[in-house]
Every structure is written in structure tokens, then in C-alpha cells.
Amino acid sequence: MNQNAAPIIHIQNLAKSYFRETLEIPVLQGLDLDIPSGGFYALMGPSGSGKTTLLNLIAGIDRPTGGLLEVCGSNLNQLDDDELASWRNQNVGFIFQNYNLIPVLNAFENIELPLLLTSLTRAQRKEKVEEALTLTNLMDRRENYPRQLSGGQEQRVAIARAIVSNPKLLVADEPTGALDAKNADEILEMMQRLNEEFGKTILIVTHDPKAANFARHQVHLEKGVLDKTVEVNR
Amino acid sequence: MRSKRRTFLILCTLVLSVFLITILQSLLATLDSVSNKPTEGNRFVVRHKSGLTQFLPISYGDYLRQQPEVLAVANSQWFGGYYQDPKNFFANFANDETTMFEVFADRITGLTEPEIKEYQRDGKGCIVGQILADKYGWKVGDTIPLTGTIFPMSPRLTIRGIFKGRTASEENTLYFHYKLLEEGVGFMKGKTGAFWLKTKTSDDIPRVANRIDTHFSNSPVETMSEAENAFYLTFVKMLGNIGAIIHGVTIAVLIAITIVTVGTMSMAIKERTTEIAVLRAMGFSSSRVLFLLMAEGLLLVTLGGAMGIGLASLVAKILREILGSALIFLQDFHLANETILLCMGMALVIGFISTIIPALAATRKSIVEGLRAL
């Protein structure tokens, strides 16, 4: 990874508050952070430190109350809801703790979902889904429904769905939180491979120091403020 | 919808509701069409003021014929007989065999002059409608037994002609000579159930009808003159205010089904809050998700509506065949296109209302909030 590459995520003086009636509850305050393209960052911190909120803001599923937020070359504050939806489709792949697969769709159909928003033909979509299935070692499970898969396989389907549209950025909120140690390692190794071999920028939120060690950098948050950024020695 | 059982139950509810509304509205439409049908023959009926089970003296016919606006008078009596088996029940009347062709010129067509003459000549002759003849395989010259249910008489009638009518109910009818009834049933001598009158113009009817009823008022046998369709509906009116009842039931069913569908769709959409949030996170816009949810809701009601209408169509056919011979207005009972459109439209409106509310709520919810809703 070239540390001097232009940042894919550029954050300046970022603030986010929630409002309970008239009461303002600040979650993030004055946060500055640059993440270069091709980086693998783990966001860490105690509960309530604002790491998931930061991930949501970077992924464009929440809006900041102040500051500058540039991701994948777009100032997210300037995009309206529809533009932001389209931006997410083109730039961000999501991996959730509970996989969040659609139960009535099989693995192939779940992975195909983001491609339905593109102008790709059926044959092109099939090709891309099969690439993603191969990459995640799921070709033999393509017809299986989520209920027929193990937790680890479900998360691999979720990863395949996240990468199928070839986004620049992958965001994962506690991606191994629901997995046993063996499956967790497999998933993290897969993410590491996506970062190293395919140059994906990856941002994960985790409580688990072992999981965070798969990343190249760890960003520690404390009460909504950036505490420190640590490079991981592997 | 994720729950197959819930989908099945809501579909059944929709099918039954649309079926009920379609059948009731079709019944109302059929009754309306009967009452609103123009009396092309400029006809009206004079009957006993006390009701249809009372008789008028045949001698009243002399006064009726003297009215300058009246072109023809035919006395007529519902016979209520059946052919071979009580289930073979259809409309059959004893009618004046001469004037009936003038009074009912629009209703009885397709007979040749020789056939009419042969019928008028044969006192035990009868004429039958085409549908009736087809149903029982009758042809001209056949002798058919008719067993009376009201009158103690079972004539054997020879078919002298098969006529065409404007409607199924008209072609599902048999006429025989009035004199045969008079001869066969002692207490009917000199009496008739009703007189059918044909006037020069339909404008004449109110004036003549009023004159006739006034003339016979305060007599031992008072008359009631009414338009042809009002006469048919007298049977139905005996059941009460059918229109109000049908509209009342329809509104009650509509309210009930709307409440049930709103509840079901709300639950179905709410249980997918996280899925909706995931779709939106992946880049599906709120409007696209709203469209998908609406399409699902409308597909469900369209399916339920179509099945309900299909079932109603089947039941209407069965009702027509089983009860049509006993209840004359049911012989034309069918689902009119307007009724089908109305019922389908109502189903779609219910689907729209019941889906749009929870769908809007789901798509307006923030993605972050939706992802937390586990």
C-alpha cells in the first residue's frame, strides 16, 4: 500500500450529534482522519465511543451534523438522498455482523442484488456473481438459501454481495461478532486477501483486538474524539 | 411477505371479501337493470291491490279495453308448474293466446305466422322459449307434461312454436292458453292474476294507470297499476330494502377488509425493516423500495381480487342455473363488466391504502435505525 496515495476518505472537523427532543447528544466531535486508498483500518474503542457512527457516516448511510466528509472523491454533504443511494451502490460494499441476507433469496440471488441497480445484462450479472462466488469459495452453495448455510458461509455470501459490484470501499461492522474463532479467522483472512490482492480499502469496526490485528492500522476513538492511530506490525 | 401462513390467510380473506362484494353488487346491478329496463312495449300491469296472491275479475278487462290509449289487453296468470321433476322449474304462464302476441311483441319473436295460428288453434298448445327448448331437447310437436304447484292441474301441452326473446329469462319461459287454466281449475273461472296492457305511447301509462285505479277504488276488488319492471320487483321488495342492505353489507365488508389488510401489510413490512434498510444501504433508493413494496401489496390484492371475482363468476353461473327458473330476475344474473371493474378497483384501493402507509413509514425511517431493528 502506498501511504502517500491520495486519501480515499478525507475527514475534517467531523461532528455528529443526536437529538432527543431538544437535548443534543454529541457522538463525534472535531474529528480529523485521512485514510489512503488501499488501506485496511480497524476502528476500535469502548461502547459509545462513536466508532459505528463514524463507520455509518463514511459509508453514507448517516449524515454528519458538521465538518467535511469526502469519500471516494465525493463530498457526501453535498449529495441528496437519491444521489447518495447511487453513490453507495457504486462505491461501498457493506458487511454486517448478522449477515443480513434476504431469507427468500438463494446465495446467487442475494449476491446479485446490488447488480440489479446497474445496467448490466443478465449474462454479465451472472458472470460477476460467479466470480464473487469463486472468490469466496461458495460455488457449490450458490443455490442454497441462507437457512441452509452455516454462519461462516452466510458471512461469505455477505462478503460476495459486498464485492460483487467492485466497490472501492468495504465497510464491516463487527463482521466476526457472530462467528466462532475458526470462521472468524477465515472471514478476516478473506478480507485481508481482498485488501492485499484486490486493493480494496477496508474499514472494520471491532471490539476484538485479535480481529483488529488483521488490519494494517487501528484507529482508537474515545468519547467521540480520535484518540490515536496505530500501525499494526505483522 | 415472509410468512406463508399469513399470506395464505390474507389471500383467503381478500378472495372471500371480493367474492361477497362482487356477488352482492352484481345482484344489485341485476335488480337495477330489471327495474331500469325500458318498457319497449309500452306495457304496464294491473293487479289486485292487496298483492300478487289475489285475483282480479276477468270482466275488468272490458273496462281496460275501453280506454282510448290502450291498444291491447292480455290477461295472464303465473302457473308455477314444473316439467317431470320439481327441480325442472321454470317460468310458465297461462296467457290470453291472441292478444299476448301484440302485448309482448318485443318479448316473443321468431315465430312464423303459421306457428302462431297453430298455437292459437290448439287449446292444449303451448309456445316455449329457445333456451328452455334447448335445455330439455324439446322440438315443435312434442307433448310435455306440466305439473302444477299452485293450481290443482297438470296439463299435457303440445309445443306449437319455439320463440326467441331479448334475454335469457324471456327465453326460459313457457306460455299456454288461459282458457285451459280456467277450464282446469274451477276457482279460476272468470278470474286472472293480472292484466297486461299495451298503450300507444309510454307517456300514456301514468294517466291510464291512474284512471284505472281510481275507477276501481272503493270497489270490492281494488286494482294496483304499475310499470312492468316495478311489477317484477314487487317480489324482491317483499324482502325489504335490498339496495340499502347490500350497500350496508358492502361497506361493512370493505371496512373490515381494509382494517385486516392494513394490519397484515403493516406487520409484513415491519418484520422486514432490517431487509429494507439493507437494500437501501446497498443503493436502492427510497422511491425504488417504496415501489417494490407497493408492487407486492398490489400484486397480493390483484391476485385476491381476481380469484374472488373468478369465484363470484362461478357462483353466479350456479345461482343462475339452479335458482334462475324459480326467481325470474336471477335468470339474467351475471357479473357485469362495470361491477367487475368496481370490485377490482375497490380491491386495488384497499391494497394501495393498506400498503402505502407502512411502506412510507419504512422507507422514511433512517437506514441506521432500520439496521438496528433486529
Containing B72, the helix (H) or strand (E) segment is strand B70-78
The residue written with cell numbers 465497510 in the block is A171
**pLDDT at residue B41, as a whole number:** 58
Contact flag B281-A59 (C-beta cutoff 8 Å):
yes
Q: Which of B172, B232, B316, B242 is nearest to B37 (CA)?
A: B232
Q: B283–A88: do the CB atoms touch at under 8 Å?
A: yes
B267 CB near a chain A CB, below 8 Å? no
* A83 close contact with B: CB closer than 8 A: no
pLDDT of the residue at B6: 83
Q: Scanning the structure block, which residue is given the C-alpha cell 380469484?
A: B307
Per-residue cell: A145: 438459501
Give which of B285, B287, B369 to mutate to test A binding, by max A Cβ within 10 Å.
B285
User: Alpha-carbon Rg of chain A, whole angstroms?
Assistant: 18
Question: Alpha-carbon distance A101 to A107, whole Å?
Answer: 9
pLDDT of residue A188: 94
What's the confidence (pLDDT) of residue B203? 83
Segment B298-301 long-range contacts (CB within 8 Å, at least 24 positions apart): B298/B348, B298/B351, B298/B352, B298/B355, B300/B1, B300/B7, B300/B10, B300/B11, B300/B14, B300/B351, B301/B14, B301/B261, B301/B347, B301/B348, B301/B350, B301/B351, B301/B354
Tens digit of each residue's pLDDT (9 = 90 or more) over B201-256? 888 888 999 999 999 998 999 999 988 766 766 655 555 567 788 888 889 988 98
CA atoms within 13 A on the CB side of A21: 0
Do B235 and B324 meet the contact criterion of CB atoms below 8 Å apart?
no
Give the pLDDT of residue B15: 92
Query: Residue A75 in 3-state DSSP?
Result: strand
Task: Give the residue from B174, B104, B108, B97 showing the smallest Cα distance to B135.
Answer: B174
Q: Compute CA distances A46 → A50, A52, B259, whole Å.
A: 9, 11, 46
Which residue's entry shows cell 314444473?
A: B82
Instruction: Output the CA torsion A171→A173→A174→A175 (10° steps).
Output: -50
Residue of chain B whose alpha carbon sits nearest to that of A86 = B283
Asked if B239 has any chain A CB less than 8 Å from its own CB, the reply is no
Residues of chain A with pLDDT under 70: 1-5, 234
**Cβ within 8 Å, pair B285-A59:** no
CA distance B372 to chain A (A): 11
Identify which of B359, B362, B328 has the alpha carbon closest to the alpha carbon of residue B174: B328
With a CB cutoff of 8 Å and minimum separation 6, the contacts of A92 are: A59, A60, A72, A167, A169, A170, A171
How far is A9 from A39, CA to CA, in rounded Å?
10
For residue range B145-169, what is the model confidence (pLDDT) as tens digits?
999 999 999 999 999 999 999 877 7
CB of A9 closer than 8 Å to CB of A71: yes
Closest by CA position to A205, among listed A33, A59, A76: A59
What's the pLDDT at B281?
Answer: 94
pLDDT at residue B52 in the model:
76
H or E element at residue A219: strand A217-222
Beta strands in A37-110 (DSSP E): 40-44, 66-71, 74-75, 92-95
Q: Does A50 touch chain B (CB under 8 A)?
A: no
In the predicted structure, residue B310 carries a pLDDT above the cut 70: yes
First to last CA, chain B: 17
CB within 8 Å: B278 and A94: yes
pLDDT at B238 (0 to 100): 52
Pairs of residues, one from chain A and one from chain B, whose beta carbons lie less than 8 Å apart: 55
Percent of chain B whose pLDDT exceeds 90 = 56
Interface test with B, best of A94, A118, A157, A164 (most B CBs within 10 A): A94
Nearest residue of B to residue A170 by CA position? B282
Residue type at position B339: T
From the number of C-beta atoms within 10 Å of its C-beta (0-12, 13-18, 19+), residue A134 rates as exposed
Q: Is B1 near chain A, with CB under 8 Å?
A: no
What is the residue extent of each domain of chain B? 4-35+240-371, 55-220
Mean per-residue pLDDT for B269-279? 91
Per-residue pLDDT at B87 exceeds 90? no
Give the pLDDT mean for B306-320: 90
ipTM above 0.95, yes or no: no
Q: Do A61 and B285 touch (CB under 8 A)?
A: no
Contact B34, B199 (CB under 8 A): no
Contact: B278, A90; criterion CB under 8 Å: no
